Structure 1
Amino acid sequence: MAPLLNIIGAGHVGRALGRLFAASGEFEIGAVLTRSAGSAADAITFIGAGHAAGGMGQLGPADAWMLAVPDDQIATVCAQLAAAAPLAGALVFHCSGAKSSLELEAAAHAGALTASAHPIRSFADPEAVAGSFGGTWCGVEGAPGAIAMLEPALLAIGGRVALIDASAKTVYHAAAVFASNYLVTVIDTALRAYQAAGIPAAAARELARPLATETLANVFRLGPETALSGPIARGDMATVTRQQAAVSAWDADAGKLYEALAAATVQLAGRRT
């Protein structure tokens, strides 16, 4: 029989992974505990398996536990679980990208094998994620025994596993912020700068689009050192100095951003030699 998986927290992430694990046969879904009976019923319907639990005391034993709760609740929920259920030898994992498996210290003290598994996807539409999970990278760290249990399950649902250092989990999560959130901020600054030069917003997006998309394609095809172009790559620091002054005069905050990015880009250009 497949190992029994109990799920605590069945929002978008918990229900998508629950459905995938159930469909793969890697886990048999047991109890599902959420904030209300109604949300538990909805989650079970989505997952297609499991039964609702009215509280920690009703969860019953399991071979594995998935804590798909908000980041700031992981340690508290884990402590409650450790006080309510036998965990010796069981797998306990959470799905946070920002927090490490050290948040599961209470479970580890109770004899559980602990880990974190962070699927690098947007879960705004769990139905879509569950239908297209193949190829999704999952950042995984934790106890070797936990990873030995968790990795095959992730591979079975189409995931790809990237093992990460638990001590660098916050830096790992910041990498996603750089690659996504801050990229948006940089593009926004570019669009506003175009508009400051008299270009309408819609036209500014069209001017920026080929530069941004072609540059990203080059980064992932050739690597950042080779993809880098522009005045710093050419060693034209006089142009950089003029741009720094002009941008700062236009928008002081944008000027600070330009200055910080220029310094980082000089370092990147130095790696080309």
Structure 2
Amino acid sequence: MAPSLNLVGAGHVGRALGRLFAATSALVVQDVLTRSRRSAMEAIAFIGAGRACDDMAQMRPSRVWMVAVGDDAIAPACAALAASQPLAGSIVFHCSGAKASTELAAARAAGAFVASVHPVRSFADPQAVAGAFAGTWCGVEGDPEALAVLEPAFEAIGARPVRIDPAAKTVYHAAAVFASNYLVTVLDAALRAYAAAGVPESVARELARPLASEALANVFRIGPEAALSGPVARGDFATVARQQDAVTRWDPATGRLYEALVAPTSELARRKRGA
């Protein structure tokens, strides 16, 4: 018999994972608690299993508890859980990319084993995620007793767990921000710079597309050192200075962004030359 699973919170992440666990029988979805009975019933309908509860006291004891709430609500929700449920020997985990399993200290103090499992993908569309979860990397850390149960359960729904250092959890999450959010910011600067040169927006995207696509493909194919090109890689700092001055005169904020990128790009170029 697969371990039972209770959900405290069932937003996009909780619903998608709950549906996957229920469909594969990796974990048996038991009780679901959300902010309202209506949302709990909606979550259960999406998951295809579970029983709605109005408060933590109504929830039955469970082998596994998923605290699927917002980052800042994890510790308070865990404290409330520890105060209302017998947790000794159970497993309590959350799915935050920014917070470590230490947020579940109240559960650990109550005798539970704790962990965090962070699927590295967007959950904006839970149905799409549930339909194409196979191959998703998950950063995992926590008590060995918890991971001994959670890693096989996540592998059963198609996840690829990778152990991370809980002390560096914030840096781990920042990696995703660099790889996704800040990449978009840099590309926005490129498109605005093209527009400042009189290039129509639709054409600017087509000018940037092959440069960005090929650079990104090269990073993952041959590594960032080999993929780096351009004036910094060539050591042409006269061109870099002219560009920085021109960009700053056009838009001071974007000029500061350009300037901030010169030093780390120079360090990458140094690694390229030493490779």
TM-score by length of 1: 0.99
Q: Which residue of 1 aligns with 2:248?
A: 248
| Equivalence map 1:27-46=2 (5 Å) | 27-46=27-46
State the alpha-carbon separation in 2 of the partners of residues 244 and 31 from structure 1.
58
1:222-268 CA-to-partner distances (Å, cap 9, x unmatched) read 10000000011111111111111111111111111111111110011
State the alpha-carbon separation in 2 of the partners of residues 130 and 173 from structure 1.
22
Q: Which residue of 1 aligns with 2:82?
A: 82
State the alpha-carbon separation in 2 of the partners of residues 79 and 100 from structure 1.
15
Q: Which residue of 2 aligns with 1:167?
A: 167
Q: Which residue of 2 aligns with 1:181?
A: 181
Q: Which residue of 2 aligns with 1:128?
A: 128
State the alpha-carbon separation in 1 of the partners of residues 244 and 2 from structure 2.
61
Q: Which residue of 1 aligns with 2:236?
A: 236
Q: Which residue of 2 aligns with 1:222?
A: 222
Question: Any stretches of 5+ residues in structure 1 without a counterpart?
Answer: none
3-state SS of 1:141 partner: strand
Would you identify which runs of 4 or more consecutive aligned residues in structure 1 move more than 6 Å? none
State the alpha-carbon separation in 1 of the partners of residues 169 and 236 from structure 2.
37
State the alpha-carbon separation in 2 of the partners of residues 125 and 200 from structure 1.
32
Amino acid at match of 2:142: G
| Equivalence map 1:1-273=2 (5 Å) | 1-272=1-272, 273=274
1:6-30 CA-to-partner distances (Å, cap 9, x unmatched) read 0110111101000111111111111
Amino acid at match of 1:230: G
Cα deviation, residue 121, structure 1: 1.2
State the alpha-carbon separation in 1 of the partners of residues 21 and 179 from structure 2.
28
Cα deviation, residue 146, structure 1: 1.1
Cα deviation, residue 176, structure 1: 0.7
State the alpha-carbon separation in 2 of the partners of residues 223 and 47 from structure 1.
40
Question: Any stretches of 5+ residues in structure 2 without a counterpart?
Answer: none
Cα deviation, residue 5, structure 1: 0.5
State the alpha-carbon separation in 2 of the partners of residues 249 and 127 from structure 1.
47
Cα deviation, residue 54, structure 1: 1.2
Cα deviation, residue 76, structure 1: 0.2
3-state SS of 1:124 partner: coil
State the alpha-carbon separation in 2 of the partners of residues 46 and 251 from structure 1.
48
1:181-216 CA-to-partner distances (Å, cap 9, x unmatched) read 100100000011111111111111110010000110
State the alpha-carbon separation in 2 of the partners of residues 144 and 9 from structure 1.
24
User: Number of aligned pairs?
Assistant: 273
Amino acid at match of 2:103: E
State the alpha-carbon separation in 2 of the partners of residues 116 and 237 from structure 1.
45
State the alpha-carbon separation in 2 of the partners of residues 120 and 69 from structure 1.
17
Superposition CA RMSD, Å: 0.7
TM-score by length of 2: 0.98
Cα deviation, residue 109, structure 1: 0.4
3-state SS of 1:221 partner: helix
State the alpha-carbon separation in 1 of the partners of residues 205 and 29 from structure 2.
47
3-state SS of 1:271 partner: helix
1:72-128 CA-to-partner distances (Å, cap 9, x unmatched) read 100000000001111111110001111110100000000111001111111111111
State the alpha-carbon separation in 1 of the partners of residues 195 and 35 from structure 2.
47
